[in-house]
Amino acid sequence: MTEHTLTVAGVAVDPRHWIGGERVASAGTFTDVSPIDGRALGEIARGTPAEAAAAVAAAKAAFPAWAATSRAERARILHAIADGVEKRLEELAIVETTDNGALLRSHRRGVMPRVAHNFRFFADWSLTLDHEDFETRGHTNHVSWDPAGPCVLITPWNAPLMLATWKIAPALAAGNTVVLKPAEWSPLTASLLADIAAEAGLPAGVLNVVQGYGSEIGDALTSHPDVRRISFTGSVPTARRIAASAAPHLTPLSLELGGKSPLLVFADADLDLAVDLAVEQYDNAGQVCLAATRILVEETVAEEFTRRFVAKAGALVQGDPREEATDIGPTIHPRQLEKIDGFVRRAVEAGARVVIGGHRVDERSYAPTLLTEVAQDSEIVQEEVFGPVLTLQTFADEDEAVRLADDTRFGLAATLVTGDRERADRVTGRLTAGTVWVNCFFVRDLKAPFGGSRHSGVGREGGTWSFDFYCDLKNTVTAPKGWNDHG
């Protein structure tokens, strides 16, 4: 441990940036606060444009050697990083829970194992990248995936390490170098990842971590002429600013943005399953971009669905996310809590009826909430709340269900519950969404494309789609003659 080290839940964390294989301090800091109890966890290096520029320079300097490293060697190092994640899984889990308030049991059993899997999957997938050569009038076409260059990755606070490595792993496997800017409300596990990567043998400058406020360093990163790719997960307004910043250099963007996803429940559905899926939308205190926050129920079963939903939701345990019995932890930040409460208060003023919840539990948490009697064009139906707030509307038939489901500016995901296979095929074919789940929720395979339509994003990631983004695809066309063959 050094004089700079913080101790968070018994784990040593360095609060400085990681640039060019070294820890770098800033003149200023910002306070990282735990949403669990409001306790200050420590002072974190507050990046400036100078540190942002230094990180891009380090990534640029490290790029030629890393790009020239064989796919097999890059994959070996990524697997070593995964080994390091698994070795420190408990530490990563408790630090992230302390930092962002998500359930410790989820971090232990699902999130951190997925972090390791991200590295293993993309390491292995990079070795399979291949397109069969084909001929054009006797000429041979050969497709290759070439490393693009330094990548800026900007990640959110709701699943910090998992969503960061969902970007970092394919970027590194592709032969790129990375500058990661983690969310200022949950920066700690990004710092631990830098340590793990260095211990795994990742060369200096290949992964850099710059902490701070997007308003202060974001433009310095996204407008930099040496950056070849930008990937961002977050809000639509921030995405617009990033796109404007990247535009002068035509830097390619991958944007995974907000959602206002529907959950459609038809009368022929297994209602117990439908209720289970609906209550699951309160996961992570509703702070999930994919959450199906608009529940649409066929009117003939709406009353029974609501009765069962209220009973199921009423059994949820809200409290300390470190406790095994807790189902819903705190909201990430008082500012977010105020935002959630504002949405609900305005909805009620506009005529919405509160079925359950509708209030703060304390200064850190919001009660699981269900609102009915909401207009389709109302703010609560059209805008992302990012909290444990669901709305319930009814529909008369399939056409109305699809019309209501698609009537927002978003298109990230949709969930459909029905006992009729033909109906499932018809409805999924009509819905506008990057992912549609039928009689299930949150089943994700890294081989599948992931992303949103309309205002929910630009591009797709996962499997080869990730490498299509993080690489420059090249087609080499070779003539059948012109060679000086000497036997």
- For residue 257, give both structure tokens: 């943005």
pLDDT, position 225: 97
* Residue 444 located in a structural domain: no
- Give the separation between CA 68 and CA 56, rounded to whole angstroms: 19
* Residue 483 located in a structural domain: no
Mean pLDDT of 91-103: 97
* Residue 145 located in a structural domain: yes
Domain shared by 269 and 207, yes or no: no
- Give the separation between CA 87 and CA 339, rounded to whole angstroms: 38
Percent with pLDDT over 90 in the chain: 97
Domain shared by 273 and 376, yes or no: yes
Domain that holds residue 168: 6-257
CB-based contacts of 57: which residues, under 8 Å, 6+ apart? 20, 226
Domain shared by 36 and 70, yes or no: yes
Domain shared by 190 and 216, yes or no: yes
* Residue 466 located in a structural domain: no
Per residue in 231-282, pLDDT (tens digit) is 999 999 999 999 999 999 999 999 999 999 999 999 999 999 999 999 999 9
pTM of the prediction?
A: 0.95
- Which runs of E-coded beta strand occur in 4-56? 6-8, 11-13, 17-19, 22-24, 29-33, 40-45
Where does the pLDDT of residue 483 fall: very low under 50, low under 70, confident under 90, or very high at 90 and above? confident
Per residue in 19-34, pLDDT (tens digit) is 999 999 999 999 999 9
Q: Using DSSP, state whether 297 is helix, strand or coil.
A: strand
Domain shared by 295 and 204, yes or no: no
Per residue in 395-409, pLDDT (tens digit) is 999 999 999 999 999
Mean pLDDT of 193-202: 98
Pairing of β 457-458 and β 353-356: unpaired
Pairing of β 139-147 and β 457-458: unpaired
Long-range contacts of 338-346 (CB under 8 A, 24+ apart): 339/385, 339/386, 339/387, 340/286, 340/366, 340/385, 340/386, 340/387, 340/388, 340/389, 341/366, 343/379, 343/380, 343/383, 343/385, 343/387, 343/389, 344/369, 344/371, 344/380, 344/389, 346/379, 346/380
* Residue 240 located in a structural domain: yes
Where does the pLDDT of residue 1 fall: very low under 50, low under 70, confident under 90, or very high at 90 and above? very low
Domain shared by 183 and 167, yes or no: yes
Pairing of β 207-209 and β 178-181: parallel
* Residue 446 located in a structural domain: no
Domain shared by 236 and 285, yes or no: no
- Check which CATH number belongs to the domain holding 237 and give it: 3.40.605.10
* Residue 470 located in a structural domain: no
- Does residue 487 carry a pLDDT above 60? no
Residues constituting the chain = 487
Domain shared by 286 and 168, yes or no: no
Domain shared by 175 and 304, yes or no: no
Task: Give me the phi and psi of 334, to 5 degrees please.
Answer: -55, -35
pLDDT, position 92: 98
- Does residue 176 carry a pLDDT above 50? yes
DSSP for residue 362:
S
Q: Are 118 and 247 in contact (CB under 8 A)?
A: no
Last residue of a domain, one of 257, 285, 309: 257
* Residue 471 located in a structural domain: no
pLDDT, position 2: 55
- Does residue 486 carry a pLDDT above 70? no
- For residue 115, give both structure tokens: 């972090």
Active site residues: 256, 289
Q: Which of 18, 83, 30 is nearest to 54 (CA)?
A: 18
Per residue in 50-95, pLDDT (tens digit) is 999 999 999 999 999 999 999 999 999 999 999 999 999 999 999 9
Domain shared by 245 and 269, yes or no: no
- Check which CATH number belongs to the domain holding 368 and give it: 3.40.309.10
Q: Using DSSP, state whether 182 is helix, strand or coil.
A: coil
Report the chain's mean pLDDT, rounded to a whole number.
Answer: 96
Domain shared by 90 and 187, yes or no: yes
Count of domains for the chain: 2
pLDDT, position 299: 97
Q: Which of 191, 186, 182, 243 is nearest to 214 (CA)?
A: 182
pLDDT, position 3: 66
Domain shared by 238 and 289, yes or no: no
Q: Using DSSP, state whether 416 is helix, strand or coil.
A: strand
